[in-house]
Amino acid sequence: MATATSISAADGSTGRRYGPRHRWIVLAVGVGAQGSFAAMFAGIPVTGIAMRADYHLSIGQLGLALACLGLGVAVSDIVWGLLTDRYGDRRVLLIGLTSTAGLLALMAAAVTPGDGAGVAALAACLLAAGALGGSVNGASGRAIMTWFADGERGLAMSIRQTAIPAGGSLGVAVLPWLAHSYGFRAVYAFPAVLCLIAAAATWRWLPTSDAPPPAAAGDVGRSPLVRWDVWRVALASALLTVPQFAVLSFTAIFLHDVKGQGAALAGVTILIAQIGGGAARIWTGRRTDRRGNRRAYLRGIGALTGVAMAAAAVLTQAPTPITVAALALGGLLANSWHGVAYTEIAAMAGPARAGTALGLEGTTVFGAAFLTPLLIPVVLTVASWEAVWALAAAAALLAIPLAPRPRAVTAR
């Protein structure tokens, strides 16, 4: 096995060689790309109260519009993964980031309430934003998998995945304030600028060579798309996404409609879930690198998340601080598994096919992110918020038997 310190690569256009330390710069580029997309993906749903009022949407229309972000990623991620394995990380990242920035700029110019945009235009643009922005998932992940050896991949991928709650926290903190203070032109312009900055970093520091670095040489096998064990990881991840997006997408609406609270408390709740989940990702990434127990961790987090969301269901009518604490804990746990799952599925496929495997993971995860905001308004129509949080708990618990059984491993 190649060690992390032996990895190097040449830039195909300049002839410049990059030493093993450059892997940390590659990781930083991946973090920036993932974070810029996450600021949009997590931040826009938290503007839900303002979006519902300014665009004159029903809760069902709001759920549809927000769900389109996840649908866009779901329908495009396997394609982006295949393109990444074929044409290289750098090219896909540059195309995806610049096109996402261009679309967000168009939305800021012509798809705001002041422009008379309705639910159809809003949903279509959010669908396109998800489809274009989702390119970062497989491309940045494949770059990291090819630059880091197995003993560091869990840590590196977990750091990259932590860019999602970190970037999401930035979006959660800034976008609702922008919506309230400056309107939706500013809401869309802010992540557009972040995507352009990430594209500039990719242009400057990610090597041009389309071929994977030596760590991936000769690492080929069956396509991840025809392996049931790979699909089990992807489907278990989809189930774990349900409580994550239930908390992310509807905490603000729940606290407003049931508890009479404003966006500030919802923002704090989601920030706790995002920041705590990000810290947990890094810790578990490093720990599972040493212990080799990624599958066991996925099963364990399914159990813990299920218990926490069940508590949120039971405590829905409790005093607001208790309910918020349960939701924050459930959201934190539901945000903590991503680095380990993405590392495991990419490692199962091998670096040369990591883009495809990560594309499959993104398809199932963001497919669940699409379906969850559509399902919750239906549950609310026929039942209650207790049923919403109970559904999230059930999804997490179902992930336990679906995740592959742990392999016999020795501590590293």
Q: Which residues contact 204 (CB under 8 A, 6 or more apart)?
A: none
Q: In 36-73, which positions are buried (b, 16+ CB within 10 angstroms) versus exposed (e)?
A: bbbbbbbbbbbbbbbbbebbebebbbbbbbbbbbbbbb
Q: What pLDDT is stored for residue 216 in this prediction?
A: 44
Q: What pLDDT is stored for residue 29 in this prediction?
A: 96
Cα angle: 112, vertex 184, 168; to 5 degrees = 130
**Is residue 260 left, alpha or beta, with left meaning phi > 0 and alpha meaning psi from -120 to 50?**
left
Q: Which residues of the chain have pLDDT under 70?
A: 1-16, 209-221, 407-412
> Which residue type, as a one-letter code, is found at position 386?
E
Residues forming beta bridges with residue 10, ordered by sequence position:
17
Question: For residue 412, what is the DSSP state?
Answer: -
pLDDT tens digits for range 14-38? 556 777 789 999 999 999 999 999 9
Cα angle: 207, vertex 141, 165; to 5 degrees = 120
Q: Which residues contact 106 (CB under 8 A, 6 or more apart)?
A: 125
Contact by Cβ (8 Å): 302, 403: yes
Contact by Cβ (8 Å): 67, 59: no
**75 in helix, strand or coil?**
helix
Tokens of 144: 């990291």
**pTM of the shown model:** 0.80
> Which residue type, as a one-letter code, is found at position 131?
A
**18 in helix, strand or coil?**
strand
**57 in helix, strand or coil?**
coil
Q: What pLDDT is stored for residue 137 in this prediction?
A: 87
261 HSE (CA, 13 A, CB side) = 19
Q: What pLDDT is stored for residue 397 in this prediction?
A: 96
Question: For residue 276, what is the DSSP state?
Answer: H
Q: What pLDDT is stored for residue 90 in this prediction?
A: 92
Closest CA to 312 of 300, 324, 301: 324
Contact by Cβ (8 Å): 156, 148: yes
Distance CA 145, CA 129 (A): 26
Distance CA 378, CA 186 (A): 31
Tokens of 176: 């609702």
Q: What pLDDT is stored for residue 220 in this prediction?
A: 53
